[in-house]
Amino acid sequence: MASISASCLRFQPLLLQSQTSTKSNLKMVSVNWAKKAYRFRVSCAAKPETVEKVCGIVRKQLALAPEISLTPESKFSDLGADSLDTVEIVMGLEEEFDISVEEDSSQNITTVQEAADLIEKLVEKKPEVAS
């Protein structure tokens, strides 16, 4: 039996749907209860531990002061990262999580959350090593 966990549900009026960004990893779900239609997005966010590790790597790579707050929404560019810093962040993530990030995917990583989500996806795809 499969289990599903959600860390966030965001309800949105149907009229505002056209105003939302089309570039998203969120899936739209429509539900009808008591003759009223509701639409909400379901996000499969990365585990908190993964987000914490990504924050640690970003903090170390960018030599961020301890008082600088990092959240899943933190953008690398807002933290002062240039393209070389981003490449080095990805290399640090590859080493920490024993994964390989394709160049196409690495160019789409702009936030801590995007990095953590990609890591979860890649770790899930990794073949298990027999002991």
**Sheet strands (E) in 68-109:** none
CA distances from residue 30 to 5, 34, 58 in whole angstroms, order as listed: 18, 13, 37
Alpha carbons within 13 angstroms on the beta-carbon side of residue 89 total 33
| Residue 82 is among the residues annotated as catalytic for this protein | yes
What is the rounded distance in angstroms from the CA atom of residue 120 to the CA atom of residue 114? 10
Q: Which of 78, 82, 98, 117 is catalytic?
A: 82
Detail the DSSP E strand segments found in the chain.
9-12, 27-33, 36-42
Who's near 105: CB < 8 A, 6+ residues apart?
118
Q: List the catalytic residues.
A: 82
